[in-house]
Structure 1
Amino acid sequence: MLVVRPAGPADLEALMELAVLSGRGFTSLPEDEAVLSERLALSQQSFTGAIAPAEAWYTLMLTDGETGAVAGVAGVRAGVGIGRPHFSFRIVTLAQHSLATKTRFDHQALVLVNECAGWTEVGSLFVRADRRSGGAGSLLARSRYMLIGADPLRFSHTVMSELRGWFDEDGRSPFWEGVSYKFYRIPFEQADHMVTASDGQFILDLAPRHPIYVELIDHGAAEAIGRVHRDGEPALALLEREGFERSGLVDIFDGGPTMTCARDSLATVRGSRTLRLAIGHDVDGPQYLLSSVAIPKFRATQAAAAIDDGMVTVDPQTATALGLREGEAVRVNG
């Protein structure tokens, strides 16, 4: 049985391993021990309520319920752009018309914006390659929405997710090389690292001040605008099933799309309800997504359950995985 639980400082070694496995361009999971250590400490403070709700950043670990081995990671950031701006490129259409030549043109352009301040971000979704079958990715992804549904007022009305942009077979980002590098003049890895390891001031200092006409940039870079990395296509499908749509915003470094959904329109949130737990044996029922309702001790898993008269019956193993006793509240989706 796979179980999703809160991450804390003790998970540093496992998280570093996942960061290495995630590969180039996975900005939200840098190969930086100091950054990841700080994030795990922040996660612990977030789950315990030691910091303001808007500043919380919850990290979730996907684990093997029997061995405790970590199979994946995901995160929920309650509010982006709180301490520093969160920059994106917005794809806009600029219309130009001339009566003299009786012509009209629509030009696509990239404009630097800071529109996401205060939005909740779900991200950092990564599952080890050998554990991606059997619904592990879906369980981990949807557990983030069960966390949001447990206490919606802790989170923004708008939920966003940034997907990794396109990289070619040689590991090069056409968007970075054709657009962003011309302004930042540093290697992608350095810029990628500075996003999480610095205050981000360099982004504003060096960013383009005027619209960038798409027709004037390299064809390969233009083709990469809003294109998802091949490894991110399953994550895109999960987001779309949840109700996310393209927002017209893209990442300023790799051109990956920003997806958004209204918090209360998330399919997992809308389709879940709170029931009372009963414990039985030889439970005969369909598979449900189950989670605890208290954020400090949040747990989520998928297991067979039987629902009747406001009660949901699970086997003892499932109850233990959720950290719940008979009669306690449990959130159910399915």
Structure 2
Amino acid sequence: MTFLMRTARPDDLQTLYEMAKLTGGGFTNLPPDRTSLAAKLERTAQALSRDGDGIEDELIVMVLENSQTGQVRGTCQIFSTVGLRWPFYSYRLGVLTQHSRELGRTFRAQMLSLTTDLEGSVEVGGLFLHPRERAEGLGLLLARSRYLYIRNHRAKFGDRIIAELRGVIDEAGGSPFWDGLAGRFFGMSFQEADEFNAVNGNQFIADLMPKTPIYTAMLTDSARAVIGLPHPNGRAAMRMLETEGFVNAGYVDIFDGGPTMVGEIDRLRTIADARDVTLAATHDGGGQKVLVAAGRLADYRCTYGFVREDADGVTIDAASAALLHIKAGDVFTMVSRA
């Protein structure tokens, strides 16, 4: 396997910028803005330099590198906790039931309530894979490498984890949800608000957004139709999250109405099934293809490897051992690819 997940470095800026231009909008965690991306890389460097335990407001950007060419072909991010620097807002989709005895009728009104329920959660986001590399399970490698990083630095993270999926964006790059709700209060197009949020954060939501619940029946048909739906390009990501153990708990993004998936870290499939093993030796090839990871902080690496287990211990193919920088006697983490 020639592809390797590693933590990002300052010299990844140009490649991240080029990938950000391919996202097509609505991708807040990967804005096509050099200053914002450079700030993310700076935060990553700070987080990777902190060896102590304890939860702090940190960001870790990771990249997918072709080890043969050195090209970066994908990226993802981990936010250690959300809601510390400014409130983390979501809409919670709920129902208000009311009964009229005189009419003999029961009314059930669907409502959107502005909430900060998810503050303190770990967030995984910013996952982007170059269109030419969407094969060979590389999307799974990107996604699951984050969970193994969290597992192997467990004391730096809390217990709940979330993933915001991009909502439905129309052909013109607009958001029906934004146009039908928040856009009416802000006097900004979705693109303008999305770009502003990516660079400056969403405190302006707290300043201008109405705090009272919103009856969805008062929204436009187009806005109501996309509440809680992922962008068509995000459906596969939603299925991956569900397989991992995330659930759709009724939270939606305040910008584009996309679903926010919620999970418990220690119950995620990758984390619960992973185990640490000591490398007995390397071999030339063959064996079970699994996800393998090793190293801490800036030295963290993750890839697919071919593992054999017998009475003599665990061996891994020499190529994967070289990518992970491990040798006989070293401990690494492995989990089934399925």
If the length of structure 1 is used for normalisation, what is the TM-score? 0.96
Compute the RMSD of aligned alpha carbons.
1.5
Letter of the 2:48 counterpart: F
Measured in 2, the distance between the counterparts of 1:198 and 1:288 equals 40
Which among 213, 216, 239 is matched to residue 214 of structure 1? Answer: 216
CA pair 174-66 structure 1, distance change in 2 beyond 3 A = same
Letter of the 1:20 counterpart: K
Q: Is the 8 A contact 2:292 2:334 kept in 1?
A: yes
Letter of the 1:23 counterpart: G
Deviations 1:92-119 (Å, cap 9, x if unpaired)? 1111112222221110011111111110
Q: Does 1:70 align with 2:72?
A: yes
Measured in 1, the distance between the counterparts of 2:75 and 2:311 equals 35
* Cα drift, residue 50 of structure 1: 6.7
Q: Is the 8 A contact 1:120 1:158 kept in 2?
A: yes
Letter of the 2:263 counterpart: C
Deviations 1:102-156 (Å, cap 9, x if unpaired)? 2211100111111111100011010000001110101110101111111222112
Q: Is the 8 A contact 2:284 2:318 kept in 1?
A: no
The range that moved more, 306-315 or 227-236, is 306-315
Q: Is the 8 A contact 2:286 2:317 kept in 1?
A: no
Q: Is the 8 A contact 2:284 2:317 kept in 1?
A: yes
* Cα drift, residue 284 of structure 1: 2.6
Q: Does 1:21 align with 2:45?
A: no
The range that moved more, 79-88 or 275-284, is 275-284
**1:79-90 alignment to 2 at 5 Å?**
79-90=81-92
Letter of the 1:195 counterpart: N
If the length of structure 2 is used for normalisation, what is the TM-score? 0.95
Residue of structure 2 in register with 1:275 after alignment? 277
Question: Which structure 1 residue ranges, 5 or more long, are not aligned?
Answer: none
Residue of structure 1 in register with 2:181 after alignment? 179
Q: Is the 8 A contact 2:174 2:189 kept in 1?
A: no
Measured in 2, the distance between the counterparts of 1:240 and 1:293 equals 28
Measured in 1, the distance between the counterparts of 2:55 and 2:212 equals 35
* Cα drift, residue 315 of structure 1: 2.4
**1:62-211 alignment to 2 at 5 Å?**
62-211=64-213
Question: Which structure 2 residue ranges, 5 or more long, are not aligned?
Answer: none
Letter of the 1:159 counterpart: I
* Cα drift, residue 283 of structure 1: 3.1
Measured in 2, the distance between the counterparts of 1:200 and 1:136 equals 31
Residue of structure 1 in register with 2:240 after alignment? 238
* Cα drift, residue 199 of structure 1: 4.4
Q: Is the 8 A contact 1:279 1:319 kept in 2?
A: no
The range that moved more, 283-292 or 255-264, is 283-292
SS in 2 for 1:21: coil
Letter of the 1:230 counterpart: P
* Cα drift, residue 278 of structure 1: 3.3
Question: How many aligned residue pairs are there?
Answer: 334
